Structure 1
Amino acid sequence: MTRRPVHRVAIVGTGTIGASWATHYLVRGFDVTATDPASTAEAALRSYVDAAWDTAASIGLVPGASPERLTFTTDLAQAVGDADFVQENAPERPELKVKLFAQLDDASPPDTILASSSSGITMSQIQAECRRPERTVIGHPFNPPHVIPLVEVVGGTRTSAETIRDTMSFYEEIGKKPVLLKKELPGHVANRIQAALYREVVHLIQEGVLDVADSDDVVSWGPGLRWGVMGPNLLWHLGGGAGGIEHFMDTLMPRMAASWQELGTPEFTPELKETIVAGVQREADGRSIDELAAWRDTMLSALLAVRAQDGPSGPPPAAGERKTETS
């Protein structure tokens, strides 16, 4: 089956994630129709797009892209009636998602892909009442979508292989880094990985090993810098020295595996909550959420620009495969 060409994207739900998705699609040259029932949604959405535009444009502006190609309606059926791709971003409530996707299924063209940004609910749950569940899929971004390339893609039990294939291709075409999950599981993958890290961070804070600001520094000035370049498996390949990953697995991995038993399972008490809140407020040092977010996105866009010099798929090619540069 030939994939439906995408010219118009519908954004369903325009909170933080939906507004960020809308910005990304606009910067990539699509017509975007957004819908949300909240009375203040349109004003908040347009304000978000205006504020995020320069950062998003620095990463991937295409000719003809404009915030003027954004339209808004509170009518759900109208928003998706002529959509070529739907990106849903409603609150994380299973019963709401099930009802909403049944409505999207009825109101949208039958060959339009319906993608959910759900961070924790599986598509098998969400598609339960759809008449055409084969075209429904999870397309879970990492926040904020107009900056972070990652999108986790996973279907439900009734999602077709063609939908998975076409969704992966579409996200890649619009500058995302789609990763296909081979199995459904609550929370998908990226959130589970960061939850595992944060559990140990919270444990160390609770045990008095270090304070909140220092725990952030340990991550962002240590492993976080390396993770911005390559993932843990490839990093351990380097950690193995001349013997690479095989040497690491033979000599260092057994010690690391043994240490897993020592990792903490903190008890989230009111006292721990207050410790973290107070520590974060000191670390923020009076800077607003918007100011911190803008600084984060500026730094991330600079990192992405550096990474783009070597291509989007990882480290540069081997020496014999490098392209020659002309002066």
Structure 2
Amino acid sequence: MSQQPPTKRLAVIGTGVIGNGWIARALGRGWDVVACDPAPGAEARTRSAVKQAWPSLERLGLAEGADPGRLTFVDSLETAVADADLVQENVPERLELKRQILAKLDAAADPQTLIGSSTSGFKPSDLQQDCAKAPGRVIVAHPFNPVYLLPLVELVGGEATTHGQTERARALYQQLAMRPLVVRREIEGHIADRLMEALWREALHLVNDGVATTEEIDAAVVYGCGLRWSLMGTFLTFHLAGGDGGMRHMLAQFGPALKLPWTKLEAPELTDELIAKVAAGCEQQAAGRSVAELEARRDEFLVRLLALVEEYWPEAEGLKGHI
């Protein structure tokens, strides 16, 4: 009879949208989870978020032993990290606050315990600055919302991080059914957010300049590039645009257009008028549906889409050993 692997324990520090996503994912993979958040009502909000996410996790496939009851809330960071196999920090995106919390986690946790920060923009070397015990184990582990469904996690080591620590992180996040992408060197915003921010800036300019509404821009993504990106990403999509000549022909044909001033690198100023346009457009698109209703619709779609992506891209051939 095969022996079951020992249960893993995740400590989650900060239980906003991202923290709760980590909690739901870990519970769905059969892990024990210990959470810590001093905000009033945090535990009730987390248990509600897990309850809402659970049907999607069931459709995706629960691991043996998966149970929302394996979540415990504690009052102190020290208690949270005790006996944890992995610590995930999700406090607000303020560098000084993150440094302060990560220093406390580093001091409290076993030196072999990995500490991942969900930061979307800060570099790990900056996050490690105040960690005196084992700074190298403090890394960036940046997920994507909803964390309980989307499998990508960007792993970035800092100046003090060893290859062995990065590889241990990769193995742990794979046990959470994540697709770890090890970023080759530190850069603000990592990889995926830099790409998304570029598109976001252009979208804001198009709204600000009266070229398109929020709904029209979303339709352009959903029915155009977004469909192809789900399977091929950016580069392989353009490789096909070159016909039989592939990327070489595409760059020869369309490369010069990259120098044309089609795009704007800087974001527009967020004036009251632009904020009103964007907010009103989104509210019109929501058509009276609550955020919870939209999240449920999104999750149902993502579960079905993930199954299709896995069917067509199961091996990730070009990223073996990297993702």
TM score, norm. by length of structure 1: 0.90
Aligned to 2:239: 237
Aligned to 1:114: 115
Alpha carbons 1:240, 1:246 under 8 Å: kept: yes
Aligned to 1:208: 210
Q: How do 1:279-294 and structure 2 match up within 5 A? A: 279-294=281-296
The one-letter code sitting in structure 2 at the alignment partner of 1:148 is L
Report deviation, 1:20.
0.6
Report deviation, 1:269.
2.0
- Work out the CA distance in 2 between the residues paired with 1:305 and 1:196: 28
**Higher mean Cα deviation, 57-66 or 261-270?**
261-270
Provide Cα deviations, 1:211-240, integer angstroms capped at 9, x if missing partner.
Answer: 221111111111111111111101111111
- Work out the CA distance in 2 between the residues paired with 1:15 and 1:126: 20
Aligned to 1:272: 274
Report deviation, 1:258.
2.3
- Work out the CA distance in 2 between the residues paired with 1:135 and 1:203: 40
Provide Cα deviations, 1:10-29, integer angstroms capped at 9, x if missing partner.
Answer: 11111110001000011011
Aligned to 1:159: 161
Report deviation, 1:315.
8.1
- RMSD, matched Cα: 1.7
Q: State percent identity of aligned pairs.
A: 43
- Work out the CA distance in 1 between the residues paired with 2:256 and 2:17: 42
Structure 1: gaps spanning 5 or more residues: 317-327
Alpha carbons 1:136, 1:163 under 8 Å: kept: no
Instruction: Answer yes or no: is 1:262 the counterpart of 2:262.
Output: yes
Alpha carbons 2:7, 2:32 under 8 Å: kept: no
Alpha carbons 2:119, 2:142 under 8 Å: kept: yes
Provide Cα deviations, 1:71-128, integer angstroms capped at 9, x if missing partner.
Answer: 1111211110110111111111111111111111111112100111011122111111
Report deviation, 1:150.
1.0
- SS across alignment from 2:269: coil
- Work out the CA distance in 2 between the residues paired with 1:6 and 1:120: 32
The one-letter code sitting in structure 1 at the alignment partner of 2:112 is D
Aligned to 1:169: 171
Instruction: Answer yes or no: is 1:299 the counterpart of 2:301.
Output: yes
Alpha carbons 1:200, 1:263 under 8 Å: kept: yes
- Work out the CA distance in 2 between the residues paired with 1:173 and 1:246: 39
**Higher mean Cα deviation, 19-28 or 164-173?**
164-173
- Work out the CA distance in 2 between the residues paired with 1:165 and 1:136: 13
- SS across alignment from 2:231: coil
Aligned to 1:325: none
Alpha carbons 1:10, 1:33 under 8 Å: kept: yes
Instruction: Answer yes or no: is 1:22 the counterpart of 2:16.
Output: no
Aligned to 2:137: 135
Aligned to 1:85: 86
The one-letter code sitting in structure 1 at the alignment partner of 2:121 is G
- Work out the CA distance in 2 between the residues paired with 1:278 and 1:8: 43
- Work out the CA distance in 1 between the residues paired with 2:137 and 2:208: 46
Alpha carbons 1:23, 1:53 under 8 Å: kept: yes
Report deviation, 1:311.
4.7
Alpha carbons 2:30, 2:65 under 8 Å: kept: yes
- Work out the CA distance in 1 between the residues paired with 2:302 and 2:168: 28
Report deviation, 1:309.
2.1
- SS across alignment from 1:268: coil
The one-letter code sitting in structure 2 at the alignment partner of 1:29 is G
Distance 1:6 1:187, change over 3 A: farther
Instruction: Answer yes or no: is 1:246 the counterpart of 2:268.
Output: no
Aligned to 2:3: none
Distance 1:242 1:161, change over 3 A: same
Report deviation, 1:170.
2.0
Report deviation, 1:207.
1.8
The one-letter code sitting in structure 1 at the alignment partner of 2:262 is E
Report deviation, 1:203.
1.2
